[in-house]
């Protein structure tokens, strides 16, 4: 069963690469592609997280299992996150100089505790900016035991409730005049309760996927389903840049959160079925390895871009682009091998949790 989901690991790399491109687009030799909204890759990660956790932990029977679940999730995300934060503090002096002496300790503390996105303020994207989504993800982990309880019978209530909660936050933000230039990012994009519906949608997708093995789909129809799902993801990315009044809170939520969520869920289900040529190609070991290191790619890409921009200004645009890609991949592989894997093993040693499903690859970037 675990091998069937290898394609989802490779998809993590593609989603992480889209986010990286969103941040470096227009720099060096990376051309602008205004026809697509590459930041939607974060929505894919939130949906995938709900899917994988529901697959891996369909039941948390008691507080002992819940504590072990939280420990496993902490061991998955905190070591690499803390490492990237240490690197920022040690090397990115220009980033640190933008904070005064009173708020810098606060930002360091909230980042270390992975709660920076819980505070709808500048703290959400302080220090290592991309790690805001790790804080949001951490909030989902804490809520998961409540969400998974009787989920097969209550999924519709929890999904509708999460959607309504997001609607209320967006509507209140619009009424208060919050837009992209005045606090929309930490409230609409980063705040965990605004993004919760994507995580719950992924949980619902896992329920759907469990019922699909009874449906016999050949490679032709399976490939067509995968291609159509991928096409919906691309279409959502294109439609996002055409949303009117993109600076408003509702438009930002629609473009970054709502539009990509359902296509992401369909793509995850299609690839998890493993019935077509695309999912099988994504299951190749090289592609899976890139997916394994995608979390470190995501955490390090902004910092490495910053360091290279100031350290290697004498190189041509093409050379800078090549140096960036090579450095990012090498640093991510090293972090995965020397930090992520050994830290996760050390923190969870002897604390395995009973599961109905076998262990598979982690779900976040």
pLDDT given at position 325: 96
Q: Which of 15-19, 174-178, 269-273, 308-312 is the least confident region? A: 308-312
Task: Identify the residue with better confidence: 51 or 311.
Answer: 51
pLDDT given at position 218: 83
pLDDT given at position 102: 62
Residue 49: pLDDT band (50, 70, 90) is: very high
Task: Identify the residue with better confidence: 92 or 206.
Answer: 206
For residue 279, pLDDT beyond 90: yes
Mean pLDDT (the chain, rounded): 90
Task: Identify the residue with better confidence: 335 or 358.
Answer: 335
Residue 236: pLDDT band (50, 70, 90) is: very high
Q: For residues 228-254, give the mean pLDDT.
A: 95
For residue 140 the two structure tokens come to: 């989902």
Q: Please state whether 356 falls in left (phi above 0), alpha (psi between -120 and 50) or beta.
A: alpha
Torsion of Cα atoms, 156 then 51 then 199 then 229, to 10°: -90
For residue 365, pLDDT beyond 60: no
Q: For residues 23-50, give the mean pLDDT.
A: 95
Q: For residues 234-241, give the mean pLDDT.
A: 97
pLDDT given at position 357: 40
pLDDT given at position 183: 86
How crowded is the C-beta side of 183, counted as CA atoms within 13 Å?
Answer: 12
Three-state SS for the chain is CHHHHHHHHHHHHHHHHHHHHHHHCCCCCCCCCCCCCHHHHHHHHHHHHHHHHHHHCCCCCCHHHHHHHHHHHHHHHHHHHHHHHHHHHHHCHHHHCCCCCCCHHHHHHHHHCCCHHHCCCHHHHCCCHHHHHHHHHHHHHHHHHHHHCCHHHHHHHHHHHHHHHHHHHHHHHHHCCCECCCCHHHHHHCCHHHHHHHHHHHHHHHHHHHHHHHCCCCHHHHHHHHHHHHHHHHHHHHHHCCCCCCCEHHHHHHHHHHHHHHHHHHHHHHHHHCCCHHHHHHCCHHHHHHHHCHHHHHHHHHHHHHHHHHHCCCCCHHHHHHHHHHHHHHHHHHHHHHHHHHHHHHHHCCCCCCCCCCCCCCCCC
Q: For residues 24-43, give the mean pLDDT.
A: 95
pLDDT given at position 165: 97
pLDDT tens digits, one per residue of 180-216? 888 899 999 999 999 999 999 999 999 999 888 656 7
pLDDT given at position 97: 57
For residue 355, pLDDT beyond 60: no
Q: Which of 95-109, 129-143, 351-365 is the least confident region? A: 351-365
Q: For residues 246-265, give the mean pLDDT.
A: 96
For residue 1, pLDDT beyond 70: no
pLDDT tens digits, one per residue of 151-164? 999 999 999 999 99
Ranked by mean pLDDT, which of 111-125, 158-172, 209-223 comes out on top? 158-172
pLDDT given at position 354: 43
Residue 351: pLDDT band (50, 70, 90) is: low
pLDDT given at position 2: 45
């Amino acid at each position: 069963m675990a091998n069937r989901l290898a394609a989802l690991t490779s998809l993590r790399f593609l989603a992480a690469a889209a986010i990286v491109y969103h941040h470096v687009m227009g720099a060096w030799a990376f051309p602008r592609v205004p026809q697509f909204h590459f930041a939607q890759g974060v929505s894919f990660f939130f949906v995938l997280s709900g899917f994988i956790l529901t697959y891996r932990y369909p039941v948390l029977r008691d507080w002992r299992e819940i504590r072990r679940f939280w420990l496993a999730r902490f061991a998955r995300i905190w070591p690499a996150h803390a490492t990237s934060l240490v690197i920022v503090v040690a090397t990115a002096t220009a980033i640190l100089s933008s904070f005064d002496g009173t708020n810098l300790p606060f930002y360091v503390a909230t980042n270390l505790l992975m709660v920076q996105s819980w505070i709808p303020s500048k703290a959400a994207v302080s220090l290592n900016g991309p790690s805001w989504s790790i804080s949001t993800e951490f909030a989902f982990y804490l809520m998961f035991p409540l969400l998974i309880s009787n989920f097969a019978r209550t999924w519709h209530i929890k999904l509708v409730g999460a959607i309504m909660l997001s609607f209320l936050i967006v509507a209140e933000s619009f009424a208060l005049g919050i837009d992209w230039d005045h606090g929309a990012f930490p409230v609409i994009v980063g705040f965990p309760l605004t993004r919760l519906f994507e995580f719950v949608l992924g949980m619902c997708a896992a329920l759907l996927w469990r019922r699909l093995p009874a449906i016999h789909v050949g490679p032709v129809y399976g490939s067509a389903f995968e291609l159509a799902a991928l096409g919906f993801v691309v279409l959502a990315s294109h439609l996002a840049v055409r949303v009117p009044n993109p600076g408003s809170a509702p438009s930002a939520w629609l473009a970054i959160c709502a539009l990509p969520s359902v296509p992401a869920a369909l793509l995850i289900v299609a690839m998890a079925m493993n019935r077509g040529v695309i999912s099988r190609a994504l299951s190749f070991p090289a592609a899976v390895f890139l997916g394994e290191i995608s979390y470190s790619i995501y955490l390090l890409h902004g910092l490495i871009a910053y360091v290279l921009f100031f350290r290697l200004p004498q190189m041509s645009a093409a050379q800078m682009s090549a140096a960036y890609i090579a450095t990012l991949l090498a640093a991510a592989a090293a972090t995965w091998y020397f930090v992520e894997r050994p830290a996760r093993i050390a923190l969870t040693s002897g604390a395995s949790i009973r599961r109905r499903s076998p262990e598979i690859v982690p779900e976040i970037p």
